[in-house]
């Protein structure tokens, strides 16, 4: 039941909205025409104290993955904030149940970053297979002495097997690109299988056991969200099922992979390499990973295209508009 007194208040006074990090200018402008927005002009990560304060001062807060909003942030009796419009699809940085228990609405931005993230996972897969990181470092260091037949030989991805862990939107988009673009065979592990039509179209094989998928894949791409269930899902035990020549790619969340175990497997040469866009303690990247040649490391760029970052902002704007008009936001969690 909409709160009509509040709605009237929002008509008379534009809702106060905090955007915690800088967004593309065009979308900041679009937000400012509907709301009384506060920008974080320094673009520095806000402290827990600042976020706590913001919950008392703003009608809406629009955080990103860098804003940790754990359970203890929602310990006050009352809040001015009614809605948290997360700028991103992953929301493991927000204690959803605690926020909801205090009557806050939380939204995210699904769909619009699916292709960008799947493209980045493909980038990592190709870079690993073709040793692009090593080659680029060689050229930049002036160490390239000319062509020779055995120079930086990598492997094909065409015709190889890709194991997808988490067949949600992004997993499916990667399966499409890999299968139709590169003729890859698709295996996937997910809570439930794809529809008959989708699995036939992609010729994708459902693996109920993660370890089975890991033992049969040349490339393993992690696309499941972070949750207590998926934390360290890729660990010492499961990594042991990977083939010596196989590669791990992670563009979801760092904590799905137990970094320490991965480092051990890479250092011992038990797997061929890893492509990582996310880490357990971002922005800290363990020196052991940096020291390895057969690892491609990116700074959480999954959705970093101009088109996508604008679309994400539009999605937040849509959610806030609906909410302040007394409707259910389309991406309410």
Residues labelled catalytic: 253, 282, 300
Q: Taking CB under 6 A as the criterion, which residues in 23-62 touch ligand 8YV?
A: none
Q: Return the number of the residue (64 or 211) whose C-beta is nearest ligand 8YV.
A: 64
273: which strand partners?
247
Does 319 contact ligand 8YV by CB under 6 A?
A: no
When binding is defined by CB under 6 A, the residue of 27, 55, 60, 89 that contacts ligand 8YV is: 89
Q: Give the residue among 251, 250, 255 at the shortest CA–CA distance from 231.
A: 255
Q: Give the residue among 115, 129, 197, 117 at the shortest CA–CA distance from 157.
A: 129
DSSP H helices, 195-235, are: 196-202, 210-216
Cα distances from 197 to residues 141, 183, 192, 203, 218, in angstroms, run 50, 18, 14, 10, 25
Q: Return the number of the residue (88 or 275) whose C-beta is nearest ligand 8YV.
A: 88
What residues contact residue 218 under an 8 Å CB cut-off, 6+ apart?
155, 157, 160, 161, 162, 243, 245, 246, 247
Q: Return the number of the residue (119 or 258) whose C-beta is nearest ligand 8YV.
A: 119
Binding mask 114-133 for ligand 8YV (x = CB under 6 A): ---x----------------
Among 9-17, 88-96, 147-155, 188-196, which window interacts with ligand 8YV (CB under 6 A)?
Answer: 88-96
CB of 316 to ligand 8YV, least distance (A): 10
State the DSSP string of 269-280: TSSSEEEES--T
57 DSSP 8-state letter: H
CB of 104 to ligand 8YV, least distance (A): 18
Does 302 contact ligand 8YV by CB under 6 A?
A: yes
Q: Which positions touch ligand 8YV (CB under 6 A)?
A: 64-65, 87-90, 113, 117, 302-303
């Amino acid at each position: 039941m909409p709160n009509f007194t509040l709605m009237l208040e929002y008509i008379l006074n534009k809702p106060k909205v905090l955007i915690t990090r800088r967004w593309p200018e065009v979308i900041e402008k679009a937000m400012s025409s509907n709301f009384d927005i506060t920008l974080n002009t320094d673009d520095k990560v806000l402290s827990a104290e600042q976020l706590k304060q913001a919950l008392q001062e703003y009608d809406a807060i629009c955080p990103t993955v860098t804003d940790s909003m754990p359970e203890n942030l929602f310990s006050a009796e009352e809040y001015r904030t009614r809605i948290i419009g997360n700028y991103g699809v992953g929301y493991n940085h927000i204690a959803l149940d605690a926020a909801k228990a205090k009557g806050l609405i939380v939204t995210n931005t699904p769909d619009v970053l699916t292709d960008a993230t799947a493209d980045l996972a493909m980038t990592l897969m190709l870079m690993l297979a073709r040793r692009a990181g090593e080659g680029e470092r060689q050229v930049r260091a002036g160490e390239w002495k000319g062509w020779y037949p055995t120079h930086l030989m990598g492997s094909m991805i065409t015709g190889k097997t890709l194991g997808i862990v988490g067949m949600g939107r992004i997993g499916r988009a990667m399966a499409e690109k890999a299968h139709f673009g590169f003729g890859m065979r698709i295996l996937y592990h997910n809570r439930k299988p794809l529809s008959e039509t989708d699995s036939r179209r992609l010729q994708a094989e459902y693996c109920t056991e993660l370890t089975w998928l890991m033992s049969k894949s040349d490339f393993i791409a992690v696309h499941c969200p972070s949750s207590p269930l998926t934390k360290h899902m890729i660990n010492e035990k499961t990594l042991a099922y990977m083939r010596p020549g196989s590669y791990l790619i992670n563009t979801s969340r760092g904590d799905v992979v137990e970094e320490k175990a991965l480092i051990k497997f890479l250092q011992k040469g038990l797997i061929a390499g890893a492509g990582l866009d996310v880490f357990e303690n971002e922005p800290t990247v363990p020196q052991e990973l940096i020291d390895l040649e057969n690892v491609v490391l990116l700074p959480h760029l999954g959705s970093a295209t101009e088109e996508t970052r604008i679309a994400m902002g539009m999605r937040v704007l849509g959610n806030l508009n609906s909410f302040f008009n007394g409707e259910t936001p389309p991406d309410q969690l």
